[in-house]
A and B are shown apart, each in its own frame.
Chain A
């Protein structure tokens, strides 16, 4: 199975900060990586597909990059509604696997 790791596991930030979360796959996955945002008690929400594709309706302050084994999610200017947990997921190979999550709080 492909193992996904994320760093950091948590971070504290302020409104207006630029935040970057990294995700690493244990083997190459091309660009078949997604990013999700999850708030407490809510379902995950898709932000990014194919490593850098912005889902419809997602604010442009979110961006994704990377290919192969190393990926990143950047929030250019953190807003109050962005405080949440973020997960990456590879969908190159079965079983699809998620990263352990990065919690972004104040």
Chain B
């Protein structure tokens, strides 16, 4: 079964760091473009960043709100993707989701599959 499972969320103080994981089962993560998105309590969805596939050297793009503070990485041996979050702010409090893109007609289409999410709370 194709599945994504996020982990690593928790309570962290402002200015702190956290690393989220997104573990894939049922497919090889290295073959896919992958995304992170987040949803603040009671709010809508916000795209956080995208990592291209191994063929494109896992290069990444980020939302302006997290650029320079967050970074996406991958580990082929674990079939996992990570979101390193540094210099956290209270406004980073959210449920964080990872999502897999799908390649159709030579174009990558975003968020075909979503994980269940992991909750990050930034508070003193």
Contacts and interface: CB of A to CB of B under 8 A. Distances in A.
Interface of A: 32, 34, 36, 38, 42-46, 49-50, 53, 55, 87, 89, 91, 94-101
Interface stretch (B10-18, B19-27, B77-85, B109-117): B109-117
A87 B45 contact: yes
Contacts of A46: 111-114
B70 interface: no
Given A43-B115, A43-B116, A44-B97, A100 B44 contact: yes
Contacts, number: 63
Given A49-B110, A95-B61, 14 more contacts: A34-B111, A36-B111, A44-B111, A44-B114, A49-B102, A50-B104, A50-B107, A50-B109, A53-B109, A87-B45, A89-B45, A94-B61, A96-B47, A100-B44
Given A49-B102, A50-B104, A96 B110 contact: yes
Contact of A98 (B47, B50, B61, B107): B47
Given A87-B44, A95-B47, A98-B44, A45 B109 contact: no
Interface residues of B, number: 24
Contacts of A98: 44-47
Nearest to B113: A46
Contacts of A45: 114
A38 to B, nearest CB: 8
A23 B44 CA distance: 15
Nearest to B112: A46
B115 to A, nearest CB: 7
Interface in B52-72: 61-64
Interface string B88-119: 00000000010000101101011111111100
Contacts of A95: 47, 61-64
